[in-house]
Copies of this chain bind each other. A is one copy, B any other.
Amino acid sequence: MMGCLDYFWEFWNYETPKVIVVKKRNLGVIYRLVQLLILVYFIWYVFIIQKGYQESESGPESSVITKVKGVSRSQHKVWDVEEYVKPPEGGSVFSIITRVQVTSSQTQDTCPEVGIGRAKYFTSLIGYPLPYSFISKVCPFIKRGNTNHPMAPEFTILIKNNIHFPRFRFTKGNVKDNDDSYLKSCTFNETTGLYCPIFKLGFIVEQAGENFTQLAEKGGVIGVIINWNCNLDLPDTMCNPRYSFRRLDPKWAQASSGYNYRFAKYYKHRGKSTRTLIKAYGIRIDVIVHGQAGKFSLIPTIINLATALTSVGVGSFLCDWILLTFMNKNEVYSARKFDQVVGRVPLNGCRWGSSHL
Given contacts A77-B118, A276-B114, contact A339 B336 (CB under 8 A): yes
Q: Does chain B have a CB within 8 A of A175? A: yes
Question: By the criterion of a CB under 8 Å from any partner CB, how many residues of chain A are at the interface?
Answer: 161
Say what secondary structure dominates the interface of chain A: mixed
Are A268 and B271 within 8 A (Cβ)? no
Q: Does chain B have a CB within 8 A of A209? A: no
Are B124 and A256 within 8 A (Cβ)? no
Are A164 and B95 within 8 A (Cβ)? no
Q: Does chain B have a CB within 8 A of A187? A: no
Report which of B265, B299, B335, B345 forms a contact with A50, defined as CB distance below 8 A: B299
Distance in Å from the Cβ of A226 to the closest Cβ of chain B?
A: 10
Are B118 and A63 within 8 A (Cβ)? no
- Residues in B whose Cβ lies below 8 Å from that of A111: 76-77, 139
- Residues in B whose Cβ lies below 8 Å from that of A116: 77, 83
Q: Does chain B have a CB within 8 A of A342? A: yes
**Which of the 9-residue segments A142-150, A200-208, A230-238, A244-252 touches chain B?**
A244-252
Given contacts A93-B91, A182-B255, contact A336 B343 (CB under 8 A): no
Given contacts A63-B288, A255-B181, A290-B166, contact A19 B28 (CB under 8 A): no
Are B81 and A262 within 8 A (Cβ)? yes
Residue of A110, A346, A355 with highest tally of chain B CB at under 10 A? A346
Interface string of A331-357 (1 = CB under 8 A from B): 011011111111111101111111101
Given contacts A180-B254, A256-B160, contact A113 B86 (CB under 8 A): no
